Amino acid sequence: MLALLFFIMGLVSWVNSVLVPYFRVACDLHTQVQSYLVTFAFYIAYLVMTVPSGLFLGKVGLKKGGMAGLWLLGIGALLFIPAALTRSYAFFLVALFTMGTALAVLQTAANPFVTIIGPLESAARRISIMGICNKLAGVLSPVIFAAAVIRPQDQENMDLIKNGFLTGNAKEAVLDEMIKGVITPYLILGVALILFGIIFYKSSLPDINPNNENKAHEDGERGSILKYPYLVLGVLALFAHVGSQQISISTISSYAESLGYGMESAMLFPSYTLLCIMIGYLVGVISIPAWLSQQRALLLCTVTGFILSALVLLLPGKASIWSLVLLGIPNSLIYAGIWPLAIRNLGKWTSLGSSLLVMALCGNAVMSLMYGAECDRIGPHNAYWLLLPCFAYMIFYALYGYKIESWKKQQS
């Protein structure tokens, strides 16, 4: 049931990489920053809504909260229908924020549950299994979206618009018709999500209170969640990770188009990247903790990520894009490495700690918008410099940050 939940979360999340170039044409956007508001609106909900989501789950429990999150996700999908009928980009952003809020609820419930249901030292392995389900959906969602939404005539019309052959009322009429392509897929998705919410609630999945489950592991009561440095530093590391990963996936279609690939070919690059992430997850499932500790895997992946990020900048055009694709392999195990190291031994603060880590997923929103701004300023290739400081900080956390138990040196 959790694997299916992670698959659904991936299905609705990773399609954003395709929505960015699609809305740029369909909603007649003129800057990169405007188009990356798709990602911003979706993921900023993690910053705004995660703590309320944690409080909500504390009141109603995991199963009711999961059902409510799935229903809200379905409502967000259904909001695409009036947004398409009015061709209102602002309305689409409201729908995406609604779906992001739903994901904040589901992530806050699902991630700590996966960590708690087994030994801490193998948590990265379980998270990797869930990640395979999530990224499998990510591989499929751009392909499904492109097949279900972009008709052959739409592709021809987009080429005509880009080349300036359609203007004025003729252009507006074509765009009005083109945007209606999202109605049927999102109607089906919305109804399916609402039905799955009922199935999820009726399933045999038990309710687990993370706070109670972790009391036995508490290392002494502390007066504030901020007194756990390895958690606070872990939140920043997770922010850097998801932000850099989002840049590598959500921007790759647009980057491919800038290199001369057609939209149909460019839309496949997110799937290539997510396929690399799945390969990395499979390596993690096999090797952690049998051959490789979580911390060593995290260090290996962050260093490899830094090297590949440098190659993205140093290599020319079509060679650099394959470095961006390969970045998916080290990115696969970083989330699974940071989460258990950051959430260990929190005791009564476990739920709040989980909420803070989920809030870090707003890095998806912030870093994508920063990339859009840099893209307008220095071009899509050079804008990938943002990856380097992210991986540098993650290397620090993998080497030293996760070990810091107190902000002050302990007195002997």
Greater confidence (122 vs 387) lies with: 387
**DSSP letter at 404?**
-
Greater confidence (396 vs 353) lies with: 396
Lowest pLDDT segment from 112-126, 208-222, 307-321, 333-347: 208-222
What's the pLDDT at 317?
80
* Mean pLDDT confidence for 7-22: 81
The answer to the question of residue 360 being in a domain is: yes
The answer to the question of residue 163 being in a domain is: yes
**DSSP letter at 216?**
G
Report the sign of the C-alpha dihedral through residues 189, 195, 200, 203, in that order.
negative
**DSSP letter at 31?**
S
For the stretch 369-406, pLDDT in tens is 899 899 989 999 999 999 999 999 999 999 999 999 88
The answer to the question of residue 102 being in a domain is: yes
What's the pLDDT at 410?
46
What's the pLDDT at 216?
47
Task: Please say if the pLDDT value at position 5 is more than 50.
Answer: yes
The answer to the question of residue 65 being in a domain is: yes
Quote the CA–CA distance of 387 and 367 in Å, as a whole number: 9
> Which domain covers residue 363, as residue numbers?
2-203+227-403
The answer to the question of residue 305 being in a domain is: yes
The answer to the question of residue 212 being in a domain is: no
The answer to the question of residue 350 being in a domain is: yes
Contact status, residue 229 vs residue 404, Cβ threshold 8 Å: yes
Helices (H) and strands (E) in the chain, counts: 22, 0
Quote the CA–CA distance of 269 and 251 in Å, as a whole number: 10
Q: Read off the pLDDT band of 210 (50, 70, 90).
A: low
User: What's 356's domain CATH number?
Assistant: 1.20.1250.20
User: Cα 377–394–311 angle (5° rounding)?
Assistant: 50
Place of tokens 């696969």: 332
Residues 6+ apart with CB under 8 A from 304: 329, 330
For the stretch 129-164, pLDDT in tens is 887 888 788 778 877 877 777 777 777 777 777 777
What's the pLDDT at 48?
86
What's the pLDDT at 97?
94
What's the pLDDT at 390?
96
The answer to the question of residue 408 being in a domain is: no
Q: What mean pLDDT, rounded, does the chain reach?
A: 84
Lowest pLDDT segment from 35-44, 111-120, 123-132, 312-321: 111-120
Count of domains forming the chain: 1
What's the pLDDT at 412?
37
Going through 26-85 in order, the beta strands assigned E by DSSP cover none
CA atoms within a 13 Å half-sphere pointing along the CA-CB vector of 324: 34
What's the pLDDT at 411?
41
For the stretch 49-86, pLDDT in tens is 888 887 787 778 778 888 999 999 999 999 999 998 98
What's the pLDDT at 286?
83
Place of tokens 């508490």: 218
3-state helix, strand, coil in the chain (%, to 5): 85, 0, 15
Buried b (16+ CB within 10 A) or exposed e, 209-242: bbbeebeeeeeeeeeebeebbbbbbbbbbbbbbb
What's the pLDDT at 150?
74
Give the pair of three-digit tokens for residue 405.
Answer: 């138990």
What's the pLDDT at 322?
93
Residues 6+ apart with CB under 8 A from 77: 12, 95, 99, 186, 187, 189, 190, 193
For the stretch 357-373, pLDDT in tens is 888 988 888 998 899 89
For the stretch 245-301, pLDDT in tens is 989 888 888 888 888 887 778 878 888 888 898 888 888 878 877 788 878 889 999
Give the pair of three-digit tokens for residue 183.
Answer: 């109605």
Distance from the Cα of residue 128 to its chain's centroid:
15
What's the pLDDT at 209?
58
Q: Read off the pLDDT band of 191 (50, 70, 90).
A: very high
Lowest pLDDT segment from 96-100, 241-245, 287-291: 287-291
